[in-house]
């Protein structure tokens, strides 16, 4: 396991669900919120999940679930280890996502788009099922405080909703996967802020 | 004082210093990082300082200090109370800042640009001096942990650096103002993440 640890296997995983987010690269960089099904909400999560001051979070993996548009679902996976061409600004992240969405997908096989970015035609269940062996937490306002949770394992998955919350089907899936409801504080925040707060808690515990 | 409290006077103030950030509205929305002296760093602070899920932080005030360009310095002040036309995406925030920068300034008088947004030709000292009566904290990596600070007052000011940190002159000014060094955690983060973490700590303490 030491060898795997040196290779910096992902130990923090974030899954962000964009219920209306487009699966097509044909959105306008001049009006991302208005033309992409609020993909901007997810783009901001890319920065907060993967970037720190002057660097990348090598141990982090981020899944963006795009459930809007004609060829939904699609998922884009970002891996801090090996990730390139990611800048903190929203527009350049949008261009990176456009490249991923222009990459042909054939079912559940992850297709490389750019270094550290892959895309597959998979939905919430297909992304979460292989991760359910680890600790799975779902960000909810009435969940247990992130500061009070034990996090016995290093390898954890955190599910974050967009501005629309979660559907009943998703909630049923979370229940099946025994995902633990978790809150980051008393105020309801944007998805990217929630990710920042989870990272901070894990940084403090050196997890 | 109860009356003032009902009016939601600002109780959280953030001052973000953009050492190269342009004071001119003539930057390109197609390449904000490359044409504005990294104004994008400051734009992301507008979202994290002022917006929560489906709402505004009415009790928060944000100063962006723009120290780059020919007619530097300029400062833009955002007040949650009365703020309009602010959306979470970076491009529309940039357009709002362009409107503020196109507003003529004549010295230290705050000129209204759009509802809740004002601009003045002032620098770091002029912004900080009137705020020094309250608690002033400066975000630094080796500062005291935000979670351990007492925050006896409700009315506090937090100074946040950009990707370049602080100059010697600024550090001397902070010393004069008795600004307390404060850290948000063990990892060096972007300015907007630092603001998110300060807000969360104050939210938890109901300050």
User: pLDDT tens-digit profile of A115-158?
Assistant: 999 999 999 999 999 988 789 999 999 999 999 999 877 899 99
CB neighbourhood size of A66 (10 A): 29
- Round the average pLDDT of chain B to a whole number and report it: 93
Q: B130: closest CA among B140, B139, B120? A: B120
User: pLDDT tens-digit profile of B132-189?
Assistant: 878 999 999 999 999 999 987 789 999 999 988 899 999 999 999 999 999 999 999 9
**Poorest-confidence range of A89-103, A122-136, B83-97, B187-201?**
A122-136
Q: Stretch A158-180: mean pLDDT, rounded?
A: 94
Q: How confident is the model at residue B1 (pLDDT cuts 50, 70, 90)?
A: very low
Give the pTM.
Answer: 0.95
DSSP for B106-158, written as a single string: -TTSPEEEETTEEEES--HHHHHGGGTTSEEEEEEEEEEEGGG----SS-EEE
Q: Which residue has the tokens 């010295």?
A: B107
What is the structure's pLDDT at A188? 96
What is the structure's pLDDT at A4? 41
pLDDT at B3 over 60: no
Helix A90-102 / helix A39-50 crossing angle, nearest 10 deg: 110
CB neighbourhood size of B204 (10 A): 15
- Give the contacts of B3 (CB within 8 A, at least 6 positions apart): none
A196 contacts on B by Cβ (under 8 Å):
189, 193, 196-197
pLDDT at A108 over 80: yes
pLDDT at B109 over 80: yes
* Angstroms from A33 CA to nearest CA on chain B: 7
Q: How confident is the model at residue B8 (pLDDT cuts 50, 70, 90)?
A: low
CB neighbourhood size of A120 (10 A): 21
How many CA atoms lie within 13 Å of A56's alpha carbon, on the beta-carbon side? 19
Q: Which residues of A touch chain B, with CB atoms under 8 Å apart? A: 29-33, 40-41, 44, 47-48, 51-54, 87-92, 163, 184-190, 193, 196-197, 199-200, 203-204, 206
Percent of chain A residues past pLDDT 70, beyond the cut: 96
Nearest CA in chain B to A165: B53
pLDDT at B190 over 50: yes
* ipTM for the predicted complex: 0.95
B33 contacts on A by Cβ (under 8 Å):
87-89, 92
């Amino acid at each position: 396991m030491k060898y795997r640890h040196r290779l910096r296997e992902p130990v923090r995983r974030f899954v962000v669900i964009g219920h209306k987010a487009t699966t097509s690269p044909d959105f306008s960089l001049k009006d991302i919120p208005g033309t992409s099904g609020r993909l901007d909400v997810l783009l901001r999560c890319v920065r907060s999940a993967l970037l720190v001051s002057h660097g990348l979070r090598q141990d982090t993996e981020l899944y963006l679930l795009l459930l809007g548009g004609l060829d939904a679902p699609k998922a884009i996976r970002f891996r801090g280890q090996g990730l390139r061409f990611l800048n903190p600004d929203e527009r350049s992240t949008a261009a990176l996502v456009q490249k991923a969405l222009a990459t042909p997908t054939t079912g559940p096989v992850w297709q490389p788009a750019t270094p550290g970015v892959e895309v597959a035609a998979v939905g919430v269940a297909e992304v979460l099922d292989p991760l359910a062996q680890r600790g799975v937490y779902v960000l909810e306002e009435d969940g247990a405080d992130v500061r009070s949770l034990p996090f016995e394992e290093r390898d954890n998955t955190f599910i974050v909703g967009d501005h629309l919350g979660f559907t009943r089907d998703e909630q049923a899936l979370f229940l099946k996967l025994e995902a633990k409801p978790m809150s980051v504080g008393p105020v309801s925040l944007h998805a990217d802020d929630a990710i920042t707060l989870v990272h901070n808690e894990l940084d403090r515990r050196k997890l």
